[in-house]
Structure 1
Amino acid sequence: MGETGLHASEFPRRATNRQQLAIADRGEQSSINSDNDARRCDSTLPSHSSRCSEADDGSSLSSPGGGKAKMSEQLLIIDTDVGIDDALALMLALANPDKCKILAITCVAGNVELSKVYTNVLRILNYCKKLQIPVYQGCSRPLVQKGIHCTVFHGQDGLGGASEKLPMPTDDLEPPKEHASVAMVELVQKHPGALTLVALGPLTNVALAQRLDTTFLSNLKELVIMGGTFEGRGNETPTGEFNFTCDPEAASVVLNEVDCKARIVTYEPCQDHLLDWDWFETWVGGPSKMAQLVRAMTEHPAQRQREVLQRQGFMSCDLLAMASVLSPALILHRERFPAWVELHGATTRGMLVVDRRPSIKWHHGKQPNVEFLLRFNMEGLKDLYARMLE
């Protein structure tokens, strides 16, 4: 589906990039990855969860016309609040036209205000020569509470100060008049059971789409969310991840009413699958234009992660979530649990509550509604990311 992504020929080649990355990756694995992988594969798991440790290669997919289609027919709507990791995720999708076709990109306020999210998406599409993909503006604030942003991490422009390297389109583009949530509903009605919605930001647009059409979520092929916490290890609050804390009511609507296949990459697996610093520096240190751009975008967050947060490698939550969509065979361990969002509490508002109790003991308990993606093939992730910058 070449109309929706970057062909490898569009990127300047780095003749020795693979070899350099392989060398950088040799030696012992980071202890944070191995320790957590061992913990997540513990055999003493709750009896009511649905285990899915086998690989899912996604080789057969529903096409808009019915029947089966190949992976290249995977149809995406990407809902995003483009900050740095959203930008990386979007670039990864654009670099893999053989794995997906992007029907629309919808913008929601989150990391930065809505106007900057919209211009950031246009900058990326212009840079990647993919301006034919429709971009819709959505909600400029959460459903109930005041909006919060994350410029301390993403910079005032949302791109780590690299927006000057991403010029706006010179053509006078007329933005679509439809609200992002309306566009979502219309696309899903046009392709029932065929679309995967990748939600990388607060779930405001998604919740509003569900309110506009109560069959919206049920008519999705799949919903993939980056957000929430699996073990209550938050970033925005002690127990809450940014996307869910930004709009708890929206996250609550989506999780309470989701009845399609729903997968979620929470904050903890992102912490457990870091790109070790040697590999990361080699990855962004190549001569290609894409590598130079990613290096400029990630310079500030990489420094913050290394020096302030003292992480053992670079973390990109949305990049991991997008990888799970493009290459589901990289998912090594996943489980289904009932989950919902806490809307009250001085320190727990916005927390994703995961019910691990054996259902046989709790007749009033909810049925599992979300599949948690917990462990990934790290070497496969690195290979996917490496090809993105060639």
Structure 2
Amino acid sequence: MIDIVQPAHGPLVAKGCEKPLVRPPFNAAGIHGSDGLGELFQFKHADGSPRYSQLTVEPSSEDAIEVLLQAAQAYGNDLTIVALGPLTNIATALQRDRATLQQVGRIVIMGGAVKVPGNISAAAEFNFFVDPDAAQVVMESGIPLTLVGLDVAMRAPLPRQVVEANLQQRPSKITQFIVDCTGIYMAFYRDNEGFHGCYLHDPLAVAVAIDPSLVKTESLYMMVETEGRFTTGMSLADRRDRRDEKTNPPNVEACLEVDTERFLKLFNQLI
């Protein structure tokens, strides 16, 4: 992606945790490809050379946990963390130095589901299912949390025909990359749900960090199931009329509605 976007300053990359807090590793290679980016190694130029170069960015000498803590100390309340995967790194940072990480302004989390079913099980969204123990640690952190879960993520569809049309109308390295990296992902939805496209889970979380007015939220107390036989990873929000907010005060702002049209407009502008 660095070769494609060519930012003025390269991003800081750091190595995070290799496995969940207490559970064995689990990934989505069958949905996103073995490299997590639609198996970019398969794409070639006409002369047979790779369309995408090998990653050359060297990771930081410090691990991702230390990078998070240093950023929290440096930027404090001005820092918004956007978490797009399982919450293992953030939970580990809390365990290493809770007071420092609690200085951040907000964590925007792509994960969970409040009023809709899960997507990896009947109860659980994928990121929370992979490391429910970490998700619960973050729920208990006291840090302001915005949950961009399946309630809104599944309302942000990107059809395959739109992606391919963008490439034809605006050919560039970026539009070509989007076509290539989404191929396996979109085929999964085509084969399993009859929708040849995908849902913009992670871009929506980033968009909410940029413009919170894209969504309507509800303040809720949420727990994540860590021991259920059938419900591991379930994000259980207390939505009762008689919920006890003194004992269990709201700990998340859960996104329950999204202005899809305005979000997709922003998405198209940024790409």
- The 5-angstrom pairing of residues 350-389 of structure 1 reads 350-359=233-242, 362=244, 365-389=247-271
Choose between structure 1 and 2 for higher RCO, CA contacts under 8 A separated by at least 6 residues.
1
Q: Secondary structure at the match of 2:154?
A: helix
1:296 aligns to 2:180 (yes or no)? yes
Could you tell me the percent identity over the aligned residues? 31
Q: In structure 2, what is the Cα distance between the partners aligned to 1:273 and 1:260?
A: 27
Change (3 A) 1:364 1:349: farther
1:346 aligns to 2:232 (yes or no)? no
* Residue equivalent to 1:113: none
- In the TM superposition, residue 330 of structure 1 has moved relative to its aligned partner by 2.0
Per-residue CA shift, 1:12-49, capped at 9, x if unaligned?
xxxxxxxxxxxxxxxxxxxxxxxxxxxxxxxxxxxxxx
Letter aligned with residue 145 of structure 2: A
Change (3 A) 1:175 1:275: closer
Q: Secondary structure at the match of 1:320?
A: helix
Q: In structure 2, what is the Cα distance between the partners aligned to 1:169 and 1:153?
A: 22
- In structure 1, runs of 5+ residues without a counterpart are 1-123
1:134 aligns to 2:19 (yes or no)? no
Letter aligned with residue 167 of structure 1: S
Q: In structure 2, what is the Cα distance between the partners aligned to 1:237 and 1:314?
A: 18
Q: In structure 1, what is the Cα distance between the partners aligned to 2:98 and 2:235?
A: 23
Q: In structure 2, what is the Cα distance between the partners aligned to 1:370 and 1:234?
A: 18
Change (3 A) 1:388 1:364: closer
* Residue equivalent to 1:219: 103
Q: In structure 2, what is the Cα distance between the partners aligned to 1:248 and 1:285?
A: 42
1:241 aligns to 2:118 (yes or no)? no
Residues paired across the two proteins, number: 261
Letter aligned with residue 127 of structure 1: I
Q: TM-score, normalised by structure 1?
A: 0.63
Letter aligned with residue 165 of structure 1: R
What is the RMSD computed on CA atoms of the aligned residues? 2.1
- In structure 2, runs of 5+ residues without a counterpart are 42-49
- In the TM superposition, residue 153 of structure 1 has moved relative to its aligned partner by 0.5
Change (3 A) 1:128 1:267: same
* Residue equivalent to 2:52: 166
Letter aligned with residue 152 of structure 2: P
* Residue equivalent to 1:202: 86
Per-residue CA shift, 1:224-257, capped at 9, x if unaligned?
0001111251111111111111111100100012
Q: In structure 2, what is the Cα distance between the partners aligned to 1:316 and 1:183?
A: 27
Change (3 A) 1:169 1:352: closer
Letter aligned with residue 384 of structure 1: L
Q: In structure 2, what is the Cα distance between the partners aligned to 1:213 and 1:313?
A: 41
Q: In structure 2, what is the Cα distance between the partners aligned to 1:354 and 1:128?
A: 39
Letter aligned with residue 146 of structure 1: P
- The 5-angstrom pairing of residues 28-177 of structure 1 reads 124-130=1-7, 132-163=10-41, 164-168=50-54, 174-177=58-61
Change (3 A) 1:363 1:193: closer
1:190 aligns to 2:67 (yes or no)? no
Q: In structure 2, what is the Cα distance between the partners aligned to 1:247 and 1:138?
A: 14
Q: In structure 2, what is the Cα distance between the partners aligned to 1:285 and 1:388?
A: 18
- Equivalent position to 1:310, from 194, 202, 220: 194
Q: In structure 2, what is the Cα distance between the partners aligned to 1:129 and 1:313?
A: 27
1:154 and 1:160 in contact (8 A); partners too: yes
Q: In structure 1, what is the Cα distance between the partners aligned to 2:189 and 2:207?
A: 21
Structure 1 range deviating more: 371-380 or 348-357:
371-380
2:80 and 2:106 in contact (8 A); partners too: yes
* Residue equivalent to 1:17: none
Q: In structure 2, what is the Cα distance between the partners aligned to 1:283 and 1:160?
A: 18
1:143 and 1:250 in contact (8 A); partners too: yes
Q: In structure 2, what is the Cα distance between the partners aligned to 1:231 and 1:324?
A: 19
Q: In structure 2, what is the Cα distance between the partners aligned to 1:372 and 1:363?
A: 16
1:334 and 1:373 in contact (8 A); partners too: yes
Per-residue CA shift, 1:119-162, capped at 9, x if unaligned?
xxxxx223322362211101000010101011110111211122
Q: Secondary structure at the match of 2:223?
A: strand
Q: In structure 2, what is the Cα distance between the partners aligned to 1:377 and 1:166?
A: 34
Q: In structure 2, what is the Cα distance between the partners aligned to 1:187 and 1:147?
A: 27
Letter aligned with residue 134 of structure 1: L
- In the TM superposition, residue 365 of structure 1 has moved relative to its aligned partner by 4.5
Q: Secondary structure at the match of 1:386?
A: helix
